[in-house]
Amino acid sequence: MTTTTAPDATVLDHRLTAADRCDSCGAQAYIAAEVNGSELLFCAHHGRKYEEKLRSIATSWHDETARLSSAD
């Protein structure tokens, strides 16, 4: 995964799209975690299910689940 630095935080807030799918069930991904150099994508349900275990080994954790309750 390539990491880029952007001065505008909103660019990073919505980097996942409808084409990004959960690695567990295929639903739309709202969470991306980098573990051992690989990116794992999860829907909100599976992201919360695995969060406790993954956070301790993940080098990054990107969470866009707030988009589910926003009025965009």
Enter the tokens of residue 6: 């952007």
Average pLDDT on 36-56 reads 96
CA 41 – CA 69 distance, rounded (Å): 19
Domain ranges (residues) in the chain: 16-64
What does 18-52 look like in DSSP terms, one character per residue? TT-B-TTT-SBP-EEEEETTEEEEE-HHHHHHHHH
What confidence score (pLDDT) does residue 13 get?
Answer: 57
User: The whole model's pTM is what?
Assistant: 0.77
What confidence score (pLDDT) does residue 5 get?
Answer: 47
CA 7 – CA 32 distance, rounded (Å): 20
Reported as type and span, the H/E element at residue 3 is none
